């Protein structure tokens, strides 16, 4: 049975980052909303209470009965979690006179305490709170302080319950990984056995039990997520997996043929389906990003429903859903985190489609998917392919989608990606793509005035897609790409480069 840590989410946007840091230490974890605590079995080694945008002093503050775990399992409260436990145990949490946000340095640490082991007294930490713990109950012990926050870390005496006012999950907390290691390994006694090979073996075994001799249909996209999902399912059920690759008319230039060819040597049972016109018809006249996503999702379901009826006795629809998809589409497991945008492969199936859903990767972040794929010996050309959105170029064309706009964007995007590959920059950035803007600008070509559209280039650096920074592509390379697009793509007379990070922007424009 896989050991795990449970993270109770109070709505913090940092909650997913806590999960990432725990996973980096090869410990499996799950995020659950504070008000939907799962059954706690012997596989649960400890519990982390997340931060929150709420204040414990609010009448409607999120609450959890942490006393059911206190003294039985190791507990770590982070920011709001620490304030909440102190507040409920009789301490005093007050509004800070000034907002405590940003870098701070520990002035005191109890190096003998197991949570603070190997953390120096001058270690930089990251604060982000409007309240502060003014007084602690008598059975609490301060184990860390800064010059402005006396109760920066505490332990409830004679228990394995801890609270910290800072955020160890952010990189600005220099010894944050060490603190989490201390909690996970030294206090919770986790084995650090959550590895790509272990995940693959356990998932394949679980799929064999779950699916038996049932037939499964999977929509391939050519990307790493659906490819890894397909390979795992193939190893579990073999020829009972039927892969469908749909040409939705929103793929990159020549991608339909290239992707089909890339799967020839993997032994997968793959069928290509041309459904361009169905998607164009569904998108006609739609400009709102959510409406476009939902229309694409609906047609995908319709196409798979049609294809599934051509396979006798198919019972399951497999999807390459990963953790960030779930987090950004709905509050995790019904929790309080904010919805960012809908994903076409998240949210279940309509009643008319009598297929059950299987999502073998839905607990993994993107970098973990790649590591699992490498463990399964997926070819590098698929593993290293940039992420590409499920709705394809439809959400890289701002406004309504037409075949003409798709053709223009495909041509511009091909020039962009081809130059990145030839210059060696493709493997240096995490994701890149061109965006067709609904903006026309005046230009001059020869002696003639032009009034044509704008292409925006986007390239970002990231680990898992949860956060991203724009890539500093060389100016000469950008100039070369711009020149080639303007000279070769009719309808474009201006190229711009996006220098926004995530947050506050998202990687895709829609």
- Who has greater pLDDT, 222 or 70? 70
- Does residue 354 surpass a pLDDT of 80? no
What is the distance between the alpha carbons of residues 240 and 269, in angstroms, rounded to a whole number? Answer: 9
Lowest-confidence pick of 51-60, 275-284, 291-300, 321-330 = 321-330
The structure tokens listed for 337 are 């985190």
- Does residue 4 surpass a pLDDT of 90? yes
Judge whether 279 and 248 are in contact, CB under 8 Å: yes
The phi and psi torsions of 407 (rounded to 5 degrees) equal -65, -40
pLDDT of residue 338: 44
HSE, CB side, 13 Å, CA atoms: give it for residue 371: 16
Give the residue among 456, 463, 450 at the shortest CA–CA distance from 478: 456
Q: Is 79 a catalytic residue?
A: yes
pLDDT of residue 447: 62
Q: Mean pLDDT throughout 350-361? A: 78
Three-state DSSP state, 110 = coil
pLDDT of residue 360: 95
Q: Find the angle CA(188)-CA(192)-CA(198) to the nearest 5 degrees.
A: 135
Categorize the per-residue pLDDT at 241 as very low, low, confident or very high, splitting at 50, 70 and 90: very high
Which tens digit of pLDDT belongs to each residue from 434-464?
999 999 888 877 667 788 999 999 999 987 7
Categorize the per-residue pLDDT at 406 as very low, low, confident or very high, splitting at 50, 70 and 90: very high
pLDDT of residue 280: 97
Judge whether 166 and 125 are in contact, CB under 8 Å: yes
- DSSP one-letter string for 289-354: HHHHHHHHHHHHHHHHHHHHHTSTTEEEEE----HHHHHHHS-GGG-SSPP----TT-S---TT--
Give the residue among 58, 50, 65 at the shortest CA–CA distance from 18: 50
pLDDT of residue 47: 97
366-375 and 224-237 are packed helices; what angle lies between their axes, rounded to 10 degrees? Answer: 40
Instruction: Tell me the percentage of the chain whose pLDDT exceeds 90.
Output: 58
- Does residue 473 surpass a pLDDT of 90? yes
What is the distance between the alpha carbons of residues 444 and 451, in angstroms, rounded to a whole number? Answer: 9
pLDDT of residue 24: 92
Q: Mean pLDDT throughout 183-191? A: 97
- Does residue 120 surpass a pLDDT of 80? yes
Q: Mean pLDDT throughout 249-271? A: 87
CB burial class (10 A; 0-12, 13-18, 19+) of residue 209? exposed
Greatest mean pLDDT range, 66-80, 129-143, 348-362: 66-80
Judge whether 30 and 4 are in contact, CB under 8 Å: yes
Q: Mean pLDDT throughout 404-416? A: 97
CB burial class (10 A; 0-12, 13-18, 19+) of residue 221? buried
Q: How confident is the prediction for the chain on average, in pLDDT?
A: 88
Greatest mean pLDDT range, 36-50, 220-234, 247-261, 412-426: 412-426
Residue 133, strand partner residues = 93
Catalytic residue among 29, 79, 190, 243: 79
Catalytic residue among 169, 255, 328, 368: 169
pLDDT of residue 446: 66
- Does residue 140 surpass a pLDDT of 50? yes
Judge whether 357 and 217 are in contact, CB under 8 Å: no
Catalytic residue among 167, 234, 242, 344: 167
pLDDT of residue 353: 62
pLDDT of residue 342: 46
- Does residue 346 surpass a pLDDT of 60? no
Greatest mean pLDDT range, 46-50, 103-107, 301-305, 502-506: 46-50
What is the distance between the alpha carbons of residues 192 and 363, in angstroms, rounded to a whole number? Answer: 17
Q: Mean pLDDT throughout 291-303? A: 90
* Torsion sign, CA atoms 345, 351, 352, 357: positive
Q: Is 167 a catalytic residue?
A: yes
What is the b/e burial string over 446-477, where b = at least 16 CB atoms within 10 angstroms of the residue's CB?
eeeebebbbbbbbbbebebbbbbebbebeeee
Residues 6+ apart with CB under 8 A from 372: 196, 199, 200, 228, 232, 361, 364
Categorize the per-residue pLDDT at 333 as very low, low, confident or very high, splitting at 50, 70 and 90: very low
pLDDT of residue 352: 57
């Amino acid at each position: 049975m896989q050991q795990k840590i449970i993270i109770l989410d109070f709505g913090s946007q940092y909650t997913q980052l806590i999960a990432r840091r725990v996973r980096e230490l090869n410990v499996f974890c799950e995020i659950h909303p504070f008000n939907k605590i799962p059954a706690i079995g012997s596989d649960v080694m400890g519990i982390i209470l997340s931060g929150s945008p709420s204040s414990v002093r609010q009448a409607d503050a999120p609450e959890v009965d942490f006393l059911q775990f206190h003294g039985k399992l190791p507990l770590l409260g982070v920011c709001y979690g620490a304030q909440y436990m102190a507040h409920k145990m009789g301490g005093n949490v007050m509004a800070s006179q000034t907002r405590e946000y940003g870098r701070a340095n520990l002035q005191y640490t109890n190096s003998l305490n197991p949570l603070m082991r190997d953390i120096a007294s001058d270690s930089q930490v990251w604060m982000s709170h409007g309240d502060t713990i003014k007084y602690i109950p008598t059975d609490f012990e301060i184990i860390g302080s800064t010059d402005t926050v006396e109760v920066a870390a505490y332990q409830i005496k004679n228990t394995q319950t801890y609270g910290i006012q800072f955020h160890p999950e952010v990189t600005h907390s220099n010894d944050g990984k060490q603190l989490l290691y201390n909690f996970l390994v030294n206090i919770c006694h986790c084995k650090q056995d959550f590895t790509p090979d272990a995940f693959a073996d356990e998932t394949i075994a679980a799929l064999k039990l779950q699916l038996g001799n049932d037939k499964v249909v999977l929509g391939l996209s050519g990307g790493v997520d659906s490819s890894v999902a397909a390979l795992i399912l193939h190893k579990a059920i073999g020829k009972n997996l039927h892969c469908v690759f749909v040409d939705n008319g929103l793929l990159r230039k020549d991608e339909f043929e290239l992707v089909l060819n890339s799967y020839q040597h993997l032994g997968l049972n793959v069928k290509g389906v041309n459904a361009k016109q169905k998607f164009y018809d569904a998108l006609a006249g739609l400009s709102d990003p959510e409406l476009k996503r939902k229309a694409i999702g609906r047609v995908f379901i319709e196409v798979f429903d049609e294809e599934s009826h051509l396979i006798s006795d198919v019972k399951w629809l497999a999807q390459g859903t990963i953790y960030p998809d779930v987090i950004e589409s709905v509050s995790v497991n019904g929790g309080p985190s904010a919805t960012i945008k809908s994903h076409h492969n998240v949210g279940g199936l309509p009643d008319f489609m009598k297929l059950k859903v299987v999502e073998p990767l839905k607990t993994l972040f993107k970098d973990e998917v790649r590591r699992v794929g490498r463990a399964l010996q997926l070819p590098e050309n698929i593993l290293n392919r940039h992420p590409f959105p499920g709705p394809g170029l439809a959400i890289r064309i701002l406004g309504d989608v037409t075949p003409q706009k798709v053709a223009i964007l495909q041509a511009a995007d091909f020039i962009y990606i081809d130059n990145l590959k030839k210059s060696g920059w493709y493997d240096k950035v995490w994701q890149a793509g061109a965006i067709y803007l609904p903006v026309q600008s005046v230009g001059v070509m020869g002696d003639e005035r032009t009034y044509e559209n704008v292409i925006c280039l986007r390239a970002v650096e990231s680990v898992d897609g949860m956060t991203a920074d724009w890539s500093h592509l060389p100016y000469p390379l950008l100039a070369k790409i711009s020149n080639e697009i303007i000279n070769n793509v009719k309808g474009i007379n201006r190229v711009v480069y996006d220098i926004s990070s995530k947050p506050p922007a998202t990687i895709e424009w829609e």
